[in-house]
Amino acid sequence: MPRPMKWRRVEFIPENHLYFAPCPKGRCPKVEDIVDVEIKIEELEAIRLKDIEGLSQSEAAEKMSVSRQTFQNILEVARKKVATALVEGKALAIGGGHYTVAKCKKCEKKCDKSCKLND
């Protein structure tokens, strides 16, 4: 029997930007004609931590509460999806996944920069 999937901890969920579609030369296709690639919330978080925040793989894996290997797997899948969308002119739909929102143990609220996750 396989091990149960561990919840991935994320700190960022986009509120208004859950769908990005190509619009070549100002001629946007009809919604029903758009083919999309779905990127999960934890995959977006992996890209954010590694490529935008510039964290090492170990640091990013720790923030997401997963092993380094699991983090690498998540990141690899995420980057492939983004590359596929860019090269093939597909839309990116952001949503779904197996994640939990990072909360501070002290205040039980969504953490900000002043509230450490390990406290």
Q: State pLDDT tens for residues 34-55.
A: 889 999 999 999 999 999 999 9
Domain count of the fold of the chain: 1
- List the domain range (segments joined by +) for residue 75: 1-17+34-119
Query: pLDDT tens-digit profile of 54-102?
Result: 999 999 999 999 999 999 999 999 999 999 999 998 999 998 888 888 7
Residue 93 lies in a domain: yes
**Pairwise pLDDT comparison (17 vs 94), residue with the higher score:** 94
Q: Where are the alpha helices (DSSP H) in the chain?
A: 41-47, 57-64, 68-88
In a domain? residue 22: no
Look at residue 28 and tell me if it is in a domain. Answer: no
Cα–Cα distance between 7 and 97 in angstroms, integer?
A: 9
29: in domain: no
The residue with tokens 């561990």 is 6
pLDDT at 111 over 70: no
Q: Is residue 23 part of a domain?
A: no
